[in-house]
Structure 1
Amino acid sequence: MNAIHKLLPPLALVSALALVPVTTSSLAAADVANYNELEKFMSVYERVKANYVDKVDDHTLIKGAIDGMLSALDPHSSYEEDASFDTLRATTDGNYGGLGLTVTLEDGIVKVITPTEDTPAWRAGIKSGDYITHIDGNLVYGATLDEAVDKMKGDPGTTVKLTILRPGKDKPFDVSLIREKIQLRPVKWEIKDGIAIIDISTFSGNSAEETKAALAAVDKATGGHPLGYILDLRSNPGGLLDAAVDISDAFLERGEIVSQRGREKTDIERYYAKPGDMAHGLPMIVLVDAGSASAAEIVAGALQDQRRALVMGETSFGKGSVQTVVQTGPRSALRLTTARYYTPSGRSVQAGGITPDIPVPQLTDPDYKNRPVVREADLRRHLLAQVKADDKLLEQDDTSQDPRFSATAEELAKKDIKDFQLYYALNTLKRLGSPASVASRGGQSKSRR
């Protein structure tokens, strides 16, 4: 679930143990401390190499050391090689093999962050917060995340059985899925009741181009006069930073979109919108939920802070960091957290997320009250936001009774309402896009281009 930079060309490998001449006493002191730490590493390495019960090769030991070093930093820094590198590159390009699950490891158990729409996992009803305890009947507790993911991979058309433990359910249950070659359609659109619905499932290399194509198609289908737009970013795990900036720009005339700030105070890069709102300034709602992360949060935060759209749904995931991917070999890359990002108003969403302007629960999900969700703040070693905030201000009062949201899933099903959040957004936009509402905003429709 990352906002990441594109893969860079291969870099020459540099020896981590190369000796550098000492030129000052301060550098000498620093080098002594570094060498003492490296000496500890070499001592352990040599002892394992000489005395471990089975022979172990250097690549296994060094790869393990790299993985351990990066795992001590944050949940999103990692070293990818071979199959995992291929998956990383394919995911950023917009297609990959698998079940369509974004997962993490919690206390040795594989935990689902979010399923991707229109994938085998999504169609099977796997939900955020589910635990995967067995794969094809084999216990995965204690395995590494890579080992568990490898077991879920396979040739398209083959079957895999997952045993799911869902909080709130009495006992685990099995789900059989057929593996597919995941060809992501990052952008889908439709017109419903005169309102354009643009659904973005991921921020891959072609997401911005397809979003702009969808906006042009909406203009053609409606004669340039839809009542408004719904941008659906629910269960969108993020992706490329450039795609998030370009998609935000498509809906903005001017102003800052996002800033990224590195280790030093002077290390700030800002991204701005260029003139040209392809949605013509018409009323707009952005839908988010706990699965909306990183690049999706950049878009939602930019449109919210610029007063361009109402954000509706549930508090987002809260991943406010940027990863830079540096290719270190033909099939290996370092993915390193290099910056935090901030919305135009200076908000860091790290561990806090984007709070919707209008909280709307997903009433058509019968488990929504009892099913715990996974957010950045739940991950071990997550980065802290640099801007201090009162945690009480970030908490949602989920126990309060709102008369607008009293219907049960069964009652909504009888009315043929399958997606309550989308249903609520459509009804809100119908009011905002009505002739009386447009007139009250000063005849905004006259200024459309």
Structure 2
Amino acid sequence: MSAPDAATENPDHRWRDAVARATSGGWAVALGAVVLAVLAGSIMVAVTDPEVQAAASYFFARPLDLLSAVGEAVGGAYTALFRGAVYNYQADTFEQAIRPLTQSLTYATPLILAGLGVAIGFRSGMFNIGGQGQMLMAAAAAGWVGFGVDLPAGIHVTVAVLAGVLAGALWAGIAGVLKATTGAHEVIVTIMLNYVAFYLLSYLLATPGLLQAPGSANPKTPPMAPTAILPRIFGPQYQLHLGFVLALVAVVVVWWLLNRSSLGFRFRMIGENQYAARVAGVNVPRTIVGSMLVGGALIGAAGATQVLGLSTSGFGSTIDAGIGFDAITVALLGGSQPVGVLFASLLFGAFKSGGTTMQAAEGIPIEIVLVVQSLIVLFIAAPPLVRAIFRLPQPDRRSTTPPAAAAAMAAPTTPTADGAAR
């Protein structure tokens, strides 16, 4: 091939290679999973709509009626979801119109923090499904400091949040120590610790003098002290609190930790191959414990924001609200990347906020939103299926450069220490 021919063809190869790399990445699979889940949700909305069922009975006589009914049912459902999650254009004032957005961000706040904690475990090769227990213990610690300790404003809320972070880290650290010292599988240990945390919190709530509010008919804590409540960002008329800012800061910190720090590099090394990490001089047991501590601290922060920012009038044993398990979905959808976890949490926060509006306005069961979330997990767990449906290139077929051109551009290489380690 002559030099002019190579100059004219190389740009095309570079563009095709860039497109192939972009579409074969994990974000493309995640986006495809969301699209497929939304389409499945649309089918369920259409099938359960009474007007669609009525129009289907005379489909062959007037087929356009069925198509119109399906369009109105699906369009009305997702329009209501938008109004309840992003912007209510039917509201009388701007303050009321943006309330759904602030509510979505409020719901997303603990998901961001807990999702980051689970993602830390995934990047370290561990499946931390103990988010429920870690959140419950963090809520107990943060709540006790919040209503039972008298401290000045500013210091009080800081100490309460730190108490929750420490409790979550220590509870996750139990699983880390057991795995590092005895080889106990973290999945089994964290599942059991979820039960221990739930019943321990139930005991604390049912026992006077511990967490139980005096004279409470139901097991519940006293309300948080005003000095221990996270301030509202846009005033008392909105529930969005300072915990959302904390979650955004955590995204930046976790990104730096995983991509720029030596500790994060060790986390990723044991996640890729513990044996190679040990040969490279990494203290694997200590790194395992460190990963669980960091992940538990982030999940603990999620529990602290729940009791200090949202459920400030007191909480019960269901304070986790399923966030510990939803965080697993968020981490999977986000590809265990901090920015991906952020966007996945925003999506799930919007689902939760808009689902109630969709049910109230259109009479659509909110369980359909839960089905959509479950389908997202299903499709995320089957990347080859998503790639086959959308005809996405496989990860091992990213390069579109012809073999002859690749051989001409390749330069002699020498083995590196990393390559030898592998």
Which one has the largest radius of gyration?
Answer: 2
The answer to which structure has the higher helix fraction is: 2
Structure with bigger RCO (C-alpha 8 Å, 6+ apart): 2
Q: TM-score, normalised by structure 2?
A: 0.24
The answer to which structure has the higher strand fraction is: 1
Q: TM-score, normalised by structure 1?
A: 0.22
